[in-house]
Amino acid sequence: MLRPAYRLTIGDQVIDTTVEPKASTVVEIVVRSDLSTPADEATIIAGQVGALTAVPGADARVELGYSDADPALVVVFTGTVVAVEPDLRTTRIIAHSKADALLRTRVDRTFEDTTAGDVVRALADAAGVLVARADAGPSLHAYVVDGRRDACRHVRDLAALAGVDTYFTPDGELVFEAFGGTRSVHVLRYGEHVLEADLTRIRPVAGTVTAFGESPGGSRGDESWAWLTKDFASFAGTSGTDAPTLLLERGSLRTAAGAATAAKALADHLAATAVTGRVRIQGRPQLALGALVRLEDFPDRPDAGIPDGNHQVSAVEHRLEKTHGFTTDVWLRSLVGAAAAAAGGAP
C-alpha cells in the first residue's frame, strides 16, 4: 500500500516524512500551478508545535510522493515565501514560484531586430531567473519594455502574441514554448485512476480574430517597419470565420506576418478554452504544466463528461492532507491547431 510522504524545505529547515512519518507538524500542503496565472502557489498549514518557522523572502521547495515508491519523492514546487499568517492554532505559509522575481522586476529598454524569445531571455536575466526552454517566436523589428509594467506582464504579452505557453517548471525555471514535440504522456483510465471528473463548456468570446500590422514592411521591405501604413486592410491577419469578430490591437504588431501569427494564437486559445475538464486522481506528483494527458474508456456520451483522447494540462493542484491523504486535480483543455497535430503522434 502506498504511503504519502513529503519533503518540505523552507530556508535551512527540512521536514522529511520519508525518514520520520509521524514527526510532522504540517497539517496540509497545497501546490497549485495554472497557465492562466502568473505565479504558481504553495500553501503550507502547520500546527503551532514543532520548530517550523518561515519569514517572507525565504527559499521554499516542496517534494511530494510516496515513501514506498521509486523514486520516493518528486519536486512539485520551487519558489519564495511571500506571506506568513499565524493564528492561535496554526500557521499558514504562502510561497510563490520564481515568477515572483519577474513580478518584482521593472525594466526600461528598447529591443531592435530581435525575436520574442530573445526579449524573454533578457527579461529573465534581469530578474535573475533561469530559462529552461524558450522558442524564438516571431521576429520583432522593435519592442519597447517599459517600467510601467512588470517583466512578467511583458513575458505573458509576448507569449500571447507568439502563440506559445509560458510557465515555470517545478524546479523554478522559465518555459516559453509552443505546445508540441516530445511530451510526458499520462494515461488516465476511467474506472481505474479517476476519482472525480467534470466538464465545462462555454460560449467562445469570438469566432473570428482579426489583427492588423501597422507598417508596410510586408510589401515595402524590412527597412520600412517604422513607417505607418495608410491601408491597414492589406496587412490584416485573420483567423476563424464565425461571428462575432474580435479586433486585436497591439503596437508591436508591425507586419502582416506578425498580425497573422497573433490572430491565430488568440483564436486557437479561445477555441481551446471553450471546452475544459477537471479530473481528480490519486496523488501523482509527476503531473505538471506542459504535460499531455490521455483519457481512456470514459463514457461515450456527449453529456457524460470529458471525451477520450489527448488533452493539454492547463492547471494542476496537488493536495496532501492528514485527513484525506494525497490527491491531484488536473485541469485539461482541448488541443487545436499545431498542438493537436503534434499530440496526435504521441505514444
CATH, residue 18: 2.30.300.10
Cα first-last separation, the chain: 29
pLDDT digits (tens, 9 = 90+) for 176-222: 999 876 777 899 998 888 999 888 888 888 888 888 766 545 555 45
- Is 65 a residue whose pLDDT tops 80? yes
Residue-level pLDDT at 215: 55
Task: Mention every residue, 6+ apart, whose C-beta is less than 8 A from residue 19.
Answer: none
Question: Do 189 and 334 have their domain in common?
Answer: yes
Cis amide bond preceding 38, omega within 30:
no
Question: Do 277 and 267 have their domain in common?
Answer: no
Question: Do 197 and 339 have their domain in common?
Answer: yes
Report residue 212 CA to chain centroid gap.
Answer: 28
Alpha helices in the chain (DSSP H): 99-103, 116-127, 151-162, 217-220, 256-272, 337-343
Question: Do 152 and 41 have their domain in common?
Answer: no
Question: Do 310 and 197 have their domain in common?
Answer: yes
Residue-level pLDDT at 198: 87
Domain that holds residue 282: 185-202+273-343
Question: Do 280 and 149 have their domain in common?
Answer: no
Question: Do 305 and 335 have their domain in common?
Answer: yes
Question: Do 266 and 277 have their domain in common?
Answer: no
For 21, 66, 141, the CA distances from 7, given in Å and listed in that order, are 11, 11, 47
Question: Do 74 and 120 have their domain in common?
Answer: no
In terms of pLDDT, which residue wins out, 267 or 105? 105
Question: For residue 62, what is its C-alpha cell?
Answer: 516542496
Residue-level pLDDT at 345: 43
Q: What average pLDDT does this structure show over 131-148?
A: 90
Tell me whether residue 233 is exposed, middle or buried, using C-beta atoms within 10 angstroms of its C-beta: 0 to 12, 13 to 18, 19 or more: exposed
Question: Do 282 and 135 have their domain in common?
Answer: no
pLDDT digits (tens, 9 = 90+) for 10-62: 999 988 888 765 556 889 999 999 999 999 999 999 987 766 889 999 999 99
Picking from 217, 242, 271, the residue at the C-terminal end of a domain is: 271
Question: Do 190 and 337 have their domain in common?
Answer: yes
How many domains does the chain divide into? 4
Residue-level pLDDT at 251: 65
- Is 302 a residue whose pLDDT tops 70? no
Question: Do 313 and 191 have their domain in common?
Answer: yes
